[in-house]
Each structure stands twice: as C-alpha cells, then as structure tokens.
A = this chain, B = another copy of it.
Amino acid sequence: MKKNAKNELFEYDHPCPIRDVLDRIGDQWSLLILKSLEHDVMRFNTLHKEIGDISRQMLSRTLKRLENDGYITRTVYAQVPPRVEYALAELGLSFLKPMNTLIQWADENHEAICRARKIQNL
C-alpha cells in the first residue's frame, strides 16, 4: 500500500493501467459527465437534467468516483438552498484530448455503425 503527495494511503488496483483507468471511466456515465463539464462548471441538478436519463443515485456515485480519482472538483458554497459546483480538475482537463478523439471518431462513424447494425435485442 502506497501513499500520495498528501501522505494518504491510496490504491493501485491493477498492474495494468488500461484496466485501472477503464474500471473507472469505462462505465455508462463518466464520459457523459466529463463531456458535460467540458465548457462549464455545473451544479448537481443541472447535470441531472442535462444528462436526462441518469438516476440521482448514479449521478451522485459517479461524481464521487470522478472526484476521488482527481478528474473533477466539488465546491460547496455555504448557501441555502445549497450550491455545489462540479468542475474539471487538471486530470479531467487533460483527459479531454483523448476523449474528444474518441468522440470525433464516434461522430465520423456514427452512420457506418447504424448501417452495419441490424435490429436485434443485444
């Protein structure tokens, strides 16, 4: 078990970096959340509405994981009703580049995939 810069214990789950990163951002929601934060700081409910079909529980969990991994920051303002803002952290910012390469590919190949895809319940 190792320690980070702040002398906290941290995990080093997989010897394989791909696995380690994918286990976190390779889920249904992480990329969508990061993409939503690309241009703006966002509040919880705004994200919830923007993404549309995520449950509050999953949004909450995914945000916590992303924060814990250093992709985003969470800032609480001492107000009522509460104001909590999520923003990309340095790591999240640097992740935009490969993520957008992926998204660009998706854009370019969207039609090809739709054409290849037969109707089936898979």
Contact = CB atoms under 8 A, between A and B. Distances in A.
A116 B11 contact: no
B117 A10 contact: yes
Copies of the chain in the assembly:
2
Contacts of A32: 18-19, 22
Interface string A84-122: 000000010011011101111111011011111111101
Interface of A: 2, 4-5, 8-12, 17-24, 26-28, 31-32, 35, 61, 64-65, 68-70, 91, 94-95, 97-99, 101-107, 109-110, 112-120, 122
Contacts of A19: 32
Mostly helix, strand, loop or mixed at chain A's interface?
helix
